[in-house]
Amino acid sequence: MHGQCLLQSAISRPPSSLVEKHHSREYPGPTAGLVPHSISTGVSNLSLRRSSKSILYSKFLDNGLLLPNKICFKVTPTVGWLGPRAVLASDLAASELVEKFDLDGQSQLQVNVVKSTAGSPTTIHLQVTNSNPSLILHWGAVNYDKKNWILPSHRPNGTQDYKKRALRTPFTKSGESSFLTIEILDTNISAIEFILYDQSREKWFKYEGQNFHIDLPRGDSGTPQKGDSGKPQVSIPEELVQIQAYLRWERRGKQIYTPEQEKEEYEAARKELQDEVAKGLSINDIREKLQGGGSLGDGSLSMKIPDDLIQVQSYIRWETAGKPNYSQEKQLQEFEEARKDLENELSKGISLADLRKKLQSGDTQKKAPDRIGKPKNIQRIHRKKRDILQMINKFPDKKENIKVSVEPEKRSALALCSQVMEALDGGSVLQKKIFKFGDKELLVLITNPRGKVHVRLATDMEGPLTLHWGLSKHSAREWTPPPLDILPEGSNLLQLACDTPFKEGFAGDASLKSVEIEIDKSSFLGMPFVLSLNGNWIKDNGSDFYFSLREKDTKPVKAVGDGIGTAKGLLHAIAEQESEAERSLMHRFNIATGLTKRAKDEGELGLAGILVWMRFMATRQLTWNKNYNVKPREISAAQDRLTDLLQQIFTEQPHNREIVRLIMSTVGRGGQGDVGQRIRDEILVIQRNNECKGGMMEEWHQKLHNNTSPDDVVICQALIDYAKSDFNMDVYWNTLISNGVTKERLGSYDRKICSEPRFSHDQKYGLIRDLTAYLRTLKAVHSGADLESAIATCMGYSAEGRGFMGGVRIHPISGLSSELPGLLQFIMEHIEDKWVGPLLEGLLEARFELRSNLLKPHDRLKDIIFLDLALDSTVRTAIERGFEELNNAQPSEIIYFITMVLENLSLSSDNNEEIIYCLKDWHHTIDLCKSKSDQWALYAKAVLDRTRLALTEKAEHYQKVLQPSAEYLGGLLGVDQSALSIFTEEMIRAGSAASLSLLLNRLDPVLRNIAHLGSWQVISPVEVRGFVITVDELAKVQNEVYGQKTILVANRVKGEEEIPDGVVAVLTPDMPDVLSHVSVRARNSKVCFATCFDPNILDDLRAKEGKALSIRPTSSDLVYNEIKVNEVLDDSENLSQGHGVSQGIALKKKKFNGKYAISADEFSDELIGAKSRNIAYLRGKVPSWVRVPVSVALPFGVFEKVLSEDMNKGVAEKIEALDKLVAKGDFSKLHKIREIVLQMNAPSQLVGELKDKMQRANMPWPGEEGEERWLQAWMAIKRVWASKWNERAYFSTRKAKIDHSDLCMAVLVQEIISADYAFVIHTTNPSTGDSSEIYAEIVKGLGETLVGAYPGRAMSFVTKKSDLNQVKVLGYPSKPIGLFIRQSIIFRSDSNGEDLEGYAGAGLYDSVPMDEEEKRTIDYSSDPLVVDHNFRRSILSKIAQVGHAIEELYGSPQDVEGVVKDGEIYVVQTRPQM
């Protein structure tokens, strides 16, 4: 976008209290938004009450501007800062056209003058057409006495003083023309004179060789001011003059005045009020106007019906009509209709003041229907079609980027010497800090042994160094001279301080120098100082050093643990500097910059530490300012340094962009952070400060965290009114109901508000204070104020100064998309639309357009990031507001919302590959829904499950990276424990992931109903009774023994766990495959096992902790009821029954038969296990189109033989010793045994025999590719043997009372098939026991994702054996990951402890491929098995036929594993179905 653009939207900060009049002018607040100059002389500087935008909006048109019409829906005068006010041109209808001048035949100068009125200056507008961008106005003013030029003190932005004889002001280029506006405040000025200068052409433009001369019309009084037409001036109360002066200062940008300017402004305010009195207003009228938040001097009070009230009524009419897009003509008509409405009210006898109060209280709002039907013709932007796979961000595993600093960094000589001196003083440390100055350090150590305060300063700086110091006796940082009796040797006492030279040596280290001072601790508060080195002062970030000499009142802190999983050294550095950081935000940002430089080199955990610290700051867990005065510009400069560094890290470390974004959202502009996030943070502060954590306030807190909406503004106002009325409940309900928030509406939220507020009188003023501040935050969010500020910063704007305040010129960011301005304008026009779909589309399109700018370096990248953060935040707020829209929505509408939230989440995430593929799946779901496919809901349920897994993975990553740092640093800083325990939860709830989860929860029951899935999937249908116990993870209790029949409600079940003794049922929201290990184990052990999809049912089960239940599975559901305790206790059935385990299963220990390797025709039950024998049996017996890979084996006894070799004697001794410890119950040694097994060496005979057998079977010998490949194969073999000591396998055999030493491990060697799909078949349906049905599951890639602990579900199907071509899909795949491998060799475990009668040992031991599998994220939306009906039916039918053929061959139900490659079916193993 070329040139400068001005965002023309009437958005401002909501009205604030007039008590701000007492604020110091030295510290103006941050810019909240941008408001265009009001063209109407009747309505100026007014902010929005009910809406954040003008109906008569402005548009970006190429390089020019369409200026707002006279009617702007900006109402309710406010004392809030409106930001810089742009002045580009005047309303010509209200101007006097003086003249047009031809300049050079191509350009034309046009001059318009707007006559001054009460409270407004004379304004001159200059426009030069067809101009160059380098045009300068060289000008001055003429007094009525027509003497020399004078130079007005009020000047446009960018004006320079030329040799104290003239002013030079640049024009603003917009389109083909240049514009300039001059405001004349001095009523003694009668004219201006000027010439034009084109810098690029070095050309002057004059009028017939002379200056251009423009006479100015006289103001309302007709003469230079001598007192309002000669009438005596009226006396105005000084407090009203002060308020009016404050309002003038505020609407002119809160600039810093000189004393002369302050005086001039004060008298101008007085004159404005006197003018109003002269027009007939009483002092009481003026007082009521000002104290009601209004502003005088705009002529509004002298009109019968003020324009601001007409604008309020116009807005209400427009909103009631559904916020249509009116033409300009229609807008003017609506304005006049609104005027008639109000005239009609006045004709009924209502006063103007009452009318204003009625409008401002929102009384007319209740006339608008609460729910307006969805508009038929909704304006939408055109969304581009994009290849969303191009949006993938994929970085290496972040483990590679994490540096875990378990110990603090290496200590310097100064730090070591400090330890010596601390020990010398008995460890009684009051203060200790080490400052860094480049590669040099300064130690300040203050101790208090034996009733005296010892101050030691030491350093490794070189050169003569002097301590310039004093003492504070009455107040902190006060400078008074120290007593003579404590001065160190060589000191020089000055008037208010003392100079003491550093002496050589410190704690025995001659390379250091130091000063030591002993002070009576009862006499002084603290010690200020600076250093002098070679004539240069050394200070603390530009301020004096200061240390307290008193003992701190420290809060007891929680034990912080060992800091594992954190950048521990960095967290200690943060804690050490917190006392300095809490002095002011300037100090905090400066310190944060230094620590962030360090964190940058410590990877993700280092940045996590900074994020946690900044988040503690943003949520007011830490002190922001401790009696330290600092100028806003100093805070801004410190903040700029920090955000500049974060911008640099964002560019240099793309894998850490997400965490950098989170840090920047806590810092923001001016320390305010993300306003949307502040809604969540500040309610916690209000509850904490006012001790109101229960009842209605807690319900509202939950509602705010769940989905904040414009209703929250009303609720907050109702609470304020309630408190102000001394807690009159009628006032509370009146405010709510009059604004459309009824009791029924409060109860309709996802997080209902059912209680009434109950406060005590001692809470009154704290609540009014905090809720009033909170109301501004709520209004800021729901009017898009933060977003507007970010847009204006990126799009650029020019704002002329007003009064004696300088203007602002922000240039547009270069390189932005040409479509972005239009998108941003669309967003601001629709920011408050009830129907948020089009707004969300615009927000996402704008984020997509910004994305390319975020991925490359830019000198203003941080401004782009802040805009993206603002858009992201607005998406979240809009989604929450849109939940009501979805109450009765069709599934397709909810799915569309889900796709938009996923888009938003993907644009904010580092590794977003899984999110992108979920998004792609949802788009395919929409297509299926539109095509009316009978499978669309079943497919959508799988996509929903996959999306939930993606959210879970993201939440777990946040928990892993952030929570340890939060707890450790929070402990060091004494942060409230309640804030620490929910730290990560609050971070997650603040993002799009929380909104997405709510949408998924809303859609889930709808899909289950359409797909006839019910609330349960019963994996093992067993009727049981037991006592309920809730656990987080099944894996954590799998080795427990429960003494009574137990029903476990487990939040997490991965699929590889064992079921603990005593457990009769496992109920979980997790979704392990029906053929996973834990599922098979449940069925074999006669344990009820089921997945519950309904969170309400799960909550009910968890609430029954400790109670006795009976569980009865049905064909499609699971029914549970409470029963009497004795119904469980009286059940005398032994707990070991039902587990299907015979007591004391005996294994026949196998011996080495003299062969290290055997071929398939040598397989026998004495040499190898059933797995190898079965695969050999299949060869030549299955149909010819079924392939069976060739195989060889390392038989039983080979492991023991190799271990007994002399070369492995040391390994054998270690294993024997560790095995004894395991037998005694030290199960931690199992892992160590596995590691030692990997140290075994291979006898040459084993290598030779295995090579021979493999080559004879036409299998590739790894050694042919080099020694390294053989070593890979040998390591895989050892891993199979080592899996004998897997925890799961060990405990399983232990429970079955199998002697672990009798377990022998053969190794089946097969050529691995690089599979497209892998499957497992059960030839009898395991869920129903129906032997007429075949059940199978199939996954993309290798079968490890099916039988191992990989999240998500496989595609599942059943078919009747009577018609194998009729396949019924039960569930579509939701596994996010597939495993793929090159053509290779796999070494499969084949023990003598598998497939025993009464004991299912399959799956306990490892099968290890020689090469590592590649993990790939699966795209099901393009997978033919999912999207191609004919292909799916063909493959699934073939798989069913294979299972049926093998069952026929063996004559019993079979558990078959196989793969699909290029449409061919391979069977890799079969065993009896258990």
Q: Which amino acid is at 512?
A: L
Query: Which residues face 1417 on adjacent strands?
Result: 1377
Question: Around Cβ 735, how many Cβ atoms within 10 Å?
Answer: 22
Nearest to 989 by CA among 680, 750, 749: 680
Matching residue, tokens 């290890």:
1408
Question: φ, ψ for residue 804 (rounded to 5)?
Answer: -105, 20
Using DSSP's 3-state secondary structure scheme, residue 928 falls into helix
Please, what is the Cα angle at 692 between 689 and 697, to 5 degrees?
120
Matching residue, tokens 């034990």:
559
Cβ 88 vs Cβ 70: under 8 Å = no
Matching residue, tokens 């490659």:
1461
Residues 6+ apart with CB under 8 A from 762: none
Question: φ, ψ for residue 1154 (rounded to 5)?
Answer: 95, -10
Catalytic residue among 858, 1077, 1139, 1322: 1077
Cβ 149 vs Cβ 217: under 8 Å = no
Matching residue, tokens 């280290």:
509
Query: Which residues face 453 on adjacent strands?
Result: 519
Helices marked H in 1027-1147: 1077-1084, 1095-1103, 1125-1129
Distances (CA, A) of 1270 to 718, 1204, 1390: 77, 22, 21
Residue 1118, phi-psi category: left (phi > 0), alpha (psi -120 to 50), beta (remainder): beta
Cβ 166 vs Cβ 138: under 8 Å = yes
Please provide the size of the chain in residues: 1474
Question: φ, ψ for residue 509 (rounded to 5)?
Answer: -100, 110
Using DSSP's 3-state secondary structure scheme, residue 436 falls into strand
Query: Which residues face 1120 on adjacent strands?
Result: 1111
Handedness of CA 1423, 1425, 1430, 1434 (dihedral sign): positive
Q: Regarding beta strands 1454-1461 and 1377-1380, do their DSSP bridges make them parallel or antiparallel, or are they unpaired?
A: unpaired
Residues 6+ apart with CB under 8 A from 542: 634
Query: Catalytic annotation on 1077?
Result: yes
Residue 617 in tokens: 């700051």
Angle between helices 785-795 and 675-690 (to 10 degrees): 140
Handedness of CA 1151, 1153, 1159, 1162 (dihedral sign): negative
Residues 6+ apart with CB under 8 A from 694: none
Compute the distance between CA of residue 13 and CA of residue 77 in angstroms, rounded to an integer.
11
Calculate the dihedral angle through the C-alpha atoms of 1465, 1468, 1470, 1474, rounding to the nearest 10 degrees: -100
Query: Which residues face 1305 on adjacent strands?
Result: 1391
Cβ 821 vs Cβ 5: under 8 Å = yes
DSSP string, 553-599: -PPP----TT-TTSBHHHHHHHHHHHHHHTT-HHHHHHHHHHHHHHH
Which H helix or E strand runs over 323?
none
Q: What share of the chain is helix, strand, coil (3-state, %, to 5)?
A: 40, 20, 40
Residues 6+ apart with CB under 8 A from 750: 703, 706, 707, 883, 998
Matching residue, tokens 């859609």:
1003
The conformation of residue 77, written as its DSSP 8-state character, comes to: B
- The residues that are catalytic are 1077
